[in-house]
Amino acid sequence: MTKVALIVPIFDKTPVYFDLFLNQLSYQRNIDILILSNLKLEKYQFLPHIETKIIDKPQNLERYISENLEWFTSTRTYWGVGSSNFLYGNLYKFIHQLTKNKPTQLTLSGINNNMTFYRSLPTENEDKIALENTELELTTDNIISFNQGRIFNYFNRRSFAFVNIDKAIRNNLFSIPKWEETPNKFYLSNSGFYNEKEFRNYNRLHFQQKIKNKGMRYFISIRHFLKKQVDDVEVISQENHHV
């Protein structure tokens, strides 16, 4: 089995969506995760596949990993560095698609961001391969579905490896939900987060609004059509009068 390690640096402060971030990490059970931080994280509960290491913030993270984390990276087949700016989907599924020929480096390519994993074990294959379009971006035309750690486009059901939640929050200015416990399934539109019950209500109201808008457009088009018919009749009447 291909073993994968993910190193996640979190320094100075946790993001406002940290509970959501940890919730998504909790589903990455086929990936060994190491969180590096200078913060006290004792209040959070971590599953066995997630470790934490308290360190001073290094000036050069790459050098720190090379000099101090061989015990973690060398015992896995591939390792990479993650970011708390993202919510992760089923990462192992996407990584596993690229490991058949044991490349020396593999990349999950996104819109403006890439995730690169490096092979720790010796290999004769020096190829560096990539899987394109693995990042889902929140837009006005889509809704993101989170289902037990997986990330989908709600409308076409296509799955993705990660979404830049930090960028989505900054661009749309919505607030983080005050759930007592993060649900297994939740949704994200450009108006905010919804659990299943909230999303059903949102979907119904959204559908009703679409019907209302379509009805209004239909009414306006009919009104324009009737007005044009009246105008045409008046023109014909005037022409007959002149004749």
Question: What is the tens place of the pLDDT at every residue in 7-51?
Answer: 999 999 999 999 999 999 999 999 999 999 999 999 999 999 999
Comparing C-alpha atoms, which of 144, 164, 165, 168 is closest to residue 155?
Answer: 144
Q: Tell me the pLDDT tens digit for each residue of 80-123.
A: 999 999 999 999 999 999 999 999 999 999 988 999 999 998 88
Helix, strand, coil percentages in the chain from 3-state DSSP, rounded to 5: 35, 25, 40
What gap in Å lies between CA 29 and CA 149, rounded to an integer?
10
pTM of the model: 0.82
